[in-house]
Amino acid sequence: MATSFVPQKQDRAQDAEFKAALHGKNSTSKTGFIAAISKNADAQKAAVTEYFKHWDNKRPSTETEEDKKTRLEEYATLTKHYYNLVTDFYEYGWGTSFHFSRFYKGEAFKQSIARHEHYLALKMGLTAGMKVLDVGCGVGGPAQEICRFTDCNVTGLNNNDYQVERANYYAKRLGLADKLNFVKGDFMQMDFEPETFDAVYAIEATVHAPVLEGVYGEIYKVLKPGGTFGVYEWVMTDKYDESIPLHREVCYGIEIGDGIPKMYKVEVAEQALKNVGFEIVHQEDLAARKDDTPWYYPLSGEWKYCRSIGDLLTIFRTSWLGRQVTMKSVGLLEKLHLAPAGSQKVTEALEEAAVNLVLGAKLGLFTPMMLFVAKKPL
């Protein structure tokens, strides 16, 4: 069943110009915190305005149906500017793989992140030489790992010029440019020819779609018959009830802090896959497994789970204490005109996301790792 949703109009020349204005001509020369506070002030102001116009002076109790409709209609601009604002903070705090993962007892943070990517590749049956599409590829961390794990060839699709540039830079630096390629594009209106890819995956990315049938339908189109689609989807669980104010506040906090036009329940994602023609062969909420170490511990800052010096540094940056240090430091630098205006506002939104991600998990309302593996029929 095709969706009637009309994708947002693209202006790639304007996007490229904005990226250059925000980050300068050599946008790969800096990374992390330094890159975050080195953006052009005027371009940063424009990005802050364009993103936060969807959220300023609005809460679940006061937002209108028109507010919700506008976020869906302007999904591409909303998401694009979100990542214009947060990519450097993500790299500073989390690394180049922008996703969560399960933890086995004694498992280090980076090891867990890589295993989560390996597990998806395993469940999808990715093998050497396959032509694979990564939908919403970030700066390429998962594509690098999956390429090295399976020896497949990965094309990454991303609507943010800055992330595309960084992903290609990292691929070249790691000697993987012959296996990895990252391109600009909107996953609601892909430019690839039909039946191009042997497999397609998405890791915590299609949540940015305004309508799940839209992105799943595009994936179905570019996938070869018999091909596999694997996704770690962000969804609200069956326990979520939008009529309960606390539930909606949690969901809203995740949306505002993570650049999401609208969060959907798991049943919506499942039905959307079926509506566009996929046959679901495996589905499981990995967050529902009874792990000794919770997936959200890097955000909740439970130090007892750290297993290395690297873990301590990472968890400090991502924990409540570390986030407060970052937020106050950015605020001070902003007051001293050493960071562009709006930088602290971005960290405050990320803080709202972190708090509600943890609360949503503890209440059983949210999962970032609803795994679906689906087949396109022959």
Strand partners for 154: 132, 180
**∠ Cα 116 351 81 (to 5°):** 80
Helix (H, G, I), strand (E, B) or coil at 196: coil
Question: What's the pLDDT at 363?
Answer: 98
Helix (H, G, I), strand (E, B) or coil at 368: strand
* H/E run at residue 142: helix 141-150
Supply the DSSP symbol for 187: T
In the chain, the N- to C-terminal Cα span, in Å, equals 18
Which two tokens mark 287? 């967050």
Distance CA 83, CA 35 (A): 13
Question: What's the pLDDT at 317?
Answer: 86
The count of other CB atoms within 10 Å of the CB of residue 241 is: 12
Question: What's the pLDDT at 1?
Answer: 41
Whole-structure pTM value: 0.95
Supply the DSSP symbol for 151: -
Question: What's the pLDDT at 321?
Answer: 85
Strand partners for 203: 232
Which two tokens mark 253? 């906090």
pLDDT in tens, 203-223: 999 999 999 999 999 999 999
**Could you tell me which residues come within 8 angstroms of residue 49 by beta carbon, excluding any fewer than 6 positions away?**
none
Which residue numbers in the chain have pLDDT < 70?
1-3
**Dihedral sign computed on CA atoms, order 329, 335, 340, 345:** positive
Q: Which of 207, 226, 251 is nearest to 377 (CA)?
A: 226
Question: What's the pLDDT at 106?
Answer: 84
